[in-house]
Chains A and B, each alone.
Chain A
């Protein structure tokens, strides 16, 4: 029967595919909003990767990284939204 270490290695493949798809959307755009939605998605995938890495290496430090990514992503989203709305007001 398959064990946890093998499973985490196998699951890295679909995660990488998801990462590529989100990255493609981020490069192609076409608008700012699309790119930031893709950034949100990349954050979720990065958290998933951190979870997988925690299981393969057995180090809890990767979960701290996931927590940091989540917090930074929220600040980035909020800053971007304020930027877009203010841009409208200036014109």
Chain B
């Protein structure tokens, strides 16, 4: 049983590390979001599961389960809000081939760095 927990912990750490590398390497915010919010959450979930199993389903598992539940519920909602906001605010997007959303939402022109200054 301990080995299962160890395997879960190692897998979670690997996913978190990959997500962090993705954040540094991918070229634009929306792509970074794919790496961060999903691989990152999978990693955190696996580590929490590892804690549940390592503690032999003790009273810790209720808190772990609740944390996993909230991670899975809030994550896509946060990602959607953040993605839409960064699209609307005119973030530089790289290599986008088609963009049907341009008709629906208007994008703010100009560099996003300028926003930082007058905020």
Contacts and interface: CB of A to CB of B under 8 A. Distances in A.
Interface of A: 2-4, 7-8, 11, 14-15, 17-19, 21-22, 24-25, 29-34, 36-38, 40-41, 44-45, 47-48, 51-52, 54-55, 60, 63-64, 66-67, 70-71, 73-74, 77-78, 80-85, 87-88, 91
Contacts of B115: 31-32, 87
Which 8 residue pairs across A and B have the least CB separation, nearest first? A33-B86, A31-B112, A44-B40, A81-B81, A18-B20, A74-B74, A84-B85, A33-B29
A85 B113 CA distance: 16
B47 to A, nearest CB: 4
Contact of B78 (A11, A55, A74): A74
15 contacts: A4-B2, A7-B6, A11-B13, A15-B13, A25-B32, A33-B89, A40-B82, A47-B44, A48-B12, A51-B50, A54-B60, A66-B63, A67-B66, A70-B67, A81-B84
Interface in B80-94: 81-82, 84-86, 88-89, 91-92
B88 A84 contact: yes
Interface majority SS (helix, strand, loop, mixed), chain B:
helix
Interface of B: 2, 5-6, 9-10, 12-14, 16-17, 19-21, 23-24, 29, 32-33, 36-37, 40-41, 43-44, 47-48, 50-51, 54-55, 59-60, 63-64, 66-67, 70-71, 74, 77-78, 81-82, 84-86, 88-89, 91-92, 108, 112-113, 115-116, 119
Given A31-B92, A78-B78, A51 B51 contact: yes
B108 A17 contact: no
A33 B91 CA distance: 8
A58 to B, nearest CB: 9
Contacts of A29: 113, 116
The winner among B47, B66, B84 for most chain A CB atoms within 10 A is B47
Contact of B36 (A7, A8, A44, A82): A44
A76 B44 CA distance: 19
